Structure 1
Amino acid sequence: MALSLSLRRALPQFPPLGFLSTASFALPISITIPPLLADLWESVLRAVPKKKTSHMKKRHRQMAGKALKDVQNLNKCPGCGQVKRAHRHLCSVTPEARRRNQSFAEVAGPNVITAVEVGSGTTQSLRVEAKLSMSRQFLAWGSADNAHPVDIFSLAVTEKQILSASGAPSLKVHSTTDTDFPLVQSIDGAHPLGCHHIVTDESGSRAVSAGFAGDVKAWSCQEGHWSADTATSDVRAWAIALSADGRYLAGVSQNGRVGVWDLSENGTQIRDHETKGSFGTCIDLSADGRFIASGHENGAVYIFLTDTGRMPFSLSGLVKPVRTVAFSPGGKILAAAGDSKVIVLYDTSSGEQIANLSGHAAWVLSLSWSSSGEYLLSSSFDGKVKVWSIDTKMCVATQSETEKAVWSVKWLPKTARSECFATAGANRSVAFYREATGG
């Protein structure tokens, strides 16, 4: 029988069980708590004080998923050599100020930092020469508008001229000695189906062009006028490169074979290198003639030794089609780029990858080294042209005056204090730029 709580309180008090025998007394009792009291009992249990949560525990809970992130935009201060944020030109304290253990407020000028000493009764200026790694400015110098009726795919330069090749049959020659860049010659019917590569030697006396029909033609220059040469009558290649003296021509074919021809011997083939059969998209010869590099559609890059014909390196780093390869003037570095949107630098003595230049948002179509090897010029499918410092491995200038593909870029021979380069592409014009500082 169930007893209520009030009935249980009314029961008589029994003596301790120690005075009674369990055999002589046994009272079965069953108590059922009504639902209302059960709810009250649950709230009482919840009201029991728990262990106090420490401040550290609360802080950890607050910061869960909100911890400070690692700072990635860091570089070295050119003034003191210490690590700083990349968006600042200099750190907050100059080396001279740290040496004196005093507080300075700095005002950055173009090439000089003026530090003003504070905290004392007098104010004095301290000029600290800083070797700043500043951006270089290039200004539009002029252009040869509508040089071709279709896309311009390749440029080649001499001391006084620039040659351009396009999907049209004619090759165009413009003068670079006049700021109007006038057309001085049109080589009509050079390639019936158009031309995609044109190269010149160092002296500017010979040029070689490759057309979409697979035909390769040589051209000789006499007193600024170009005429056909029969030295390449038997050459078949897609991409081509010419040695500095104009004697040797290197080419890579659509089946990936790399050949070398002696133009002084009527185009006799003297080397035939075999690769893994992927389409050969680009090729280059080092200025000293020691190396040949070829880029292929499968992302492979190969380096060959011209004296032995041996292939010491098969380079990795690009998994998408390679569209351009270029040796530095000294031949110590090979730059390669393409659809991966990254420019990879290789050491030609070891084949090791020494740097990645990232910044392009589209395919990299063309590369060109400055005469000193300090800077590398690149162009991309989205119309951007960038200048890279090889010393800092950073982009120091970007030109974006067109949104169309820039198929080819070339540094012009340095005849003055300032650097100059030319660009051409889908806008069908040749544009010229010069460095803002200098004569």
Structure 2
Amino acid sequence: MNKKIIITILLALVATTGQAQVKCHVEGTLETDAWGDEVIICEAGTDLRVVDKPRFHVKAKDGHFSYDIETDFPRLYVVFFLKQQETGSWYQGKFLAENCNVNVTMYKDKRIHIVSNGEEGRKHAVKDSIEDLRFWNPVEVIDNQIDDESHRAEFYKADFISTITKARSLNVDSLPQTYVDSIRQVVDYYMQNKRARYTDAGWQLMQRRDSITADLVPFRFAYDAEHPMLWTLYDVLDAIQALKHADVYVNFDKSQFEPYLTLYHDKLINYYPGHPIHDQIATAETAYRLQPGKLYIDYTVRNIDDQLVPISTLTKGKVALIDLWASWCGPCRSHSIAMIPVYEKYKDKGFTVVAIARERNRQAMENAAKKDGYPWQSLLELNDENGVWRKNGAGNAGGAMYLIDRDGTILSTSTDAEELEPIIKKALNID
């Protein structure tokens, strides 16, 4: 084979490398104009507060839209109304972008019906149809019965109905604050005490509903174990991320999610080899293990000179607080502000703060840092370029904190300055 032919073949290989192997065509119908005519279609896990591209935005015309996806592997995508997302009350429809056609129908009550003729899409549709038959259809019958206005007094206690009616009509600007607070306290009581809301008849219905849904998670796991599919790998990723944030929820039941880790390592780790989801699962699992007593991970960040460096070079030899924050995250900024006096007290004794802001642009970070008066410089994670939040298991949350010792051991994952200060003092050997 002569040199010219070899070069031609190599050029052909280069030309085909990186070309989309998957082409998915989406056709959509809006059954309502209540949420406008703009929908978002993007890969699952995308946070528009940080990564937002024009191609994600799809305008419907006369209630219809179409969209083409070209990607390297079949990947999980989401679709939702932009206006719903902006109000903070929204529902995502999900589908696998594979070599297929996908039909999407979007409704006013946030329901999104999706039909795919792809191989993986059909597999998941079978699971969905069984779920509907065994769980969601019976649950819907109960929900419609108990929420029927004409039977409300039969299922809900009169005091509960009265309280909710008052709460919905509250004009907080014209009523005494003590009265508003009293109504809210009663509402909180009912929200925390489910049994107190219902009559005996209503409670029987709710118990029947709960007995149906109690079997949903075991069914899903058993089905996924018996019928592995690409979607199952995304379920594994979701389970790990849920476990990472378990401490945020009251009475969180880890037993619903922990079996997915075992399932993955026993049966799925070699399923669909080469797919990027495996790297995502490995990263999420590593992040899940980031607990006090474990070594903190190393990863690349941009330093203040805009150079990519390992974060370990910024914390070496120091008791360091890794402060992941964002200009758009109010709680994150409150936690960071509370750390300012702690930092000032111990900065000359071997303590440092390595702050990293998750932003869509640099100016937002600089404005927030200036307003809050941070005495430390903040690094920038622009458009999730280095996957810092994913590697720390922070998902699409605004932020997190990791306090690490000089040797890189995690001392705390608290975000409370009062809790962190004594741990910092002990690590610095200060009495």
Q: TM-score per shorter chain, which class?
A: under 0.3
Richer in strand (by share): 1
- Structure with max Cα Rg: 1
TM-score (norm 1): 0.22
TM-score (norm 2): 0.23
Richer in helix (by share): 2
